[in-house]
Amino acid sequence: MTIARRTSTYVGVALLGGVVGAILGLLVAPGPGEETRRRIARHSIEDQERLLRLAEMGSGLLDDIDLAASA
């Protein structure tokens, strides 16, 4: 399996984990619905930003590996 394919697999698993976590959070949430939805929306935006930063870092590492391998 190539490095790029492994990376995309990890990203897919991370996204799936986020979705499952959000669903479980809704099912066991202690607060009122509106408050819970606001909290989930805020956290999902933060998680999305964090995931994008990690993806950029991973992409940079892959570029470095490609450059080193071609040198």
Domain map of the chain by residue range? 3-70
Identify the band that residue 1 occupies on the pLDDT scale cut at 50, 70 and 90.
Answer: low
> Model-level pTM?
0.45
Question: Which tens digit of pLDDT belongs to each residue from 5-15?
Answer: 777 788 888 88
Give the angle 27-33-39 at the CA atoms, nearest 5°. Answer: 85
The mean predicted confidence, pLDDT, of the chain is 81
Q: To which H or E segment does residue 6 belong?
A: helix 3-27
Rounded CA-CA distance 44/14 in Å is 12
Residue 35: C-alpha distances to residues 8, 30, 38, 42, 67 (Å): 33, 10, 5, 11, 48
Token duo for residue 38: 């606001």
pLDDT tens by residue, 36-46:
788 888 998 89
